[in-house]
Amino acid sequence: MTKSREAIKLLVELAESDTEADKILAKEFPSVVERYAFLRGAFDFDVPFAGNGRPDDIEPNYKAVLSAIVNRKWRA
């Protein structure tokens, strides 16, 4: 990992879109499983899995959580 955890977390929070945030995470974490694990650790949430918890079932949860994190700044 080239950037600190806190720096990555801040870049994700400040991203203009979930696509931009995903690109930031993809530079540090090659797989969706790793990106989702980072988000769970950095943002301390627990979301029940859609599907049966296989790695290919993680992507819908990952996208939903990432979108919620990025869009949180627009809610006051």
pTM beyond 0.85: no
**Which pLDDT does position 28 carry in this prediction?**
95
Spans of the chain, pLDDT less than 50: 1
Q: What is the pLDDT of residue 76?
A: 53
Token code pair at residue 49:
């899995």
pLDDT value of position 63: 92
- 1-7, Cβ contacts within 8 angstroms, sequence gap of 24 or more: 1/28, 2/27, 2/28, 3/28, 5/38, 5/41, 5/42
CA distance 19 to 46: 22
Q: Are 8 and 35 in contact (CB under 8 A)?
A: no
